[in-house]
Amino acid sequence: RVSATLRDIRLGTAVLVDNLQKNVDGGKYIANIKKNYQWVVAEVGMKPKQIWIGENKYNWATGDWLIGSPSNPIGWIQQNGLQLRGHNLLWPGNNFMPTWLLQQESSITPDKAKSLLEDYITTVVTRYRGKIAGWDVVNEAIDDYDSSRPFNLRDSFWFRKLGRDFIKYAFIFAHNADPNVELFYNEYGIERTSLKANRTLELVNWLKSEGVTVHGVGMQWHIDVSKTVTPGDSYYQNAQRFIDQGFDILVTELDISVPMRNGKPINPADIQKQGVLYRSVLQYALHFHPKCHGLLTWGFTDRYSWIPSFSNNTKGDALPLDASYVPKPGYFQMQEEL
């Protein structure tokens, strides 16, 4: 944290609010966050599926605890001198949608869908206005494969109701509710030049051409240890073209997984490689800084990471601290780079 602050780059991590509230692991969870990061994002709890529990019904538990509520404006974030990123206002993937909304799909007209969207985004952004460093307005809206839909948008509730305009509306409603907050489009698998990265660039260029405020693009960076990141390569070229076309970038969810068997890395040397790669991604972030606003990892200790369950235990050990909070090569490599 001190080194990053001196370099003027923001480092952050996703956190589990439950772990903060329970002060787990003898205080080590919280202590490591405060020691290493300026920036925090809720891994769960501030997504539509958790907040939006019915029409005009909201569950504010996580957000209010973190950043305060109208009646009690100081939350854990302010108490600890941190900043919060908002993640996310809209996640169109079917599994990530509020179930009640999907269940009512057949009776919801396009006009009704638009007004529901406006209610939700306006209510959330207004509640935390002035307290959030930036919002991921739309998360993972683009398909991995080519489709007939504009920008290869996924087939989703929002697309079926409003076509591609749902993205435009989401950004407009967010900007109207808090004209000062930074607004990002966040996506996975767009770190290098690729079809999906092309479509993403086309999408944000379209938004801009419609006069919509989009500050930048969050690139998630869920990668594995087989990758290399080197100045001038397609990771760098891709970042540069987004920046050249007027969009800031952000590493929003970095983790670097290694192949696992029986809870252990198949190749122990992968942990060294992972260390070098953590440094390479930080070098990349520093290279594009300040157009690259910073770097957040998706968790910080292998004790709490989404990778094992997501990969059916074939991948893991993806973060800079091990499961006992002992720094791994990735931690020291980043520290040296700063």
Task: For residue 224, state whether it binds ligand XIL (rule: CB under 6 A).
Answer: no
Closer residue to ligand XIL, CB minimum distance, 18 or 210: 18
Q: Which has the closest alpha carbon to 281: 258, 252, 261, 308?
A: 252
Task: For residue 43, state whether it binds ligand XIL (rule: CB under 6 A).
Answer: yes
Closer residue to ligand XIL, CB minimum distance, 43 or 182: 43
Minimum gap (Å) between residue 306 Cβ and ligand XIL: 3
- Residue list 124-153, contact with ligand XIL (CB under 6 A): 139
Task: For residue 306, state whether it binds ligand XIL (rule: CB under 6 A).
Answer: yes
Task: For residue 36, state whether it binds ligand XIL (rule: CB under 6 A).
Answer: no
Minimum gap (Å) between residue 336 Cβ and ligand XIL: 28
- Residue list 186-205, contact with ligand XIL (CB under 6 A): 188
C-alpha distances (whole Å) from 311 to each of 227, 256, 305, 317 are: 18, 13, 11, 12
118 is catalytic: no
Closer residue to ligand XIL, CB minimum distance, 136 or 248: 136
Task: For residue 19, state whether it binds ligand XIL (rule: CB under 6 A).
Answer: no
Binding ligand XIL by CB under 6 A: which of 62, 220, 274, 297?
220
Q: Rounded to whole angstroms, how far apart are CA atoms 1 and 159?
A: 41
Closer residue to ligand XIL, CB minimum distance, 83 or 297: 297
Closer residue to ligand XIL, CB minimum distance, 114 or 299: 299
Task: For residue 257, state whether it binds ligand XIL (rule: CB under 6 A).
Answer: no
Residues at the contact surface with ligand XIL, assessed by CB under 6 A: 43-44, 139, 188, 220, 253, 306
Could you list the active site residues? 253
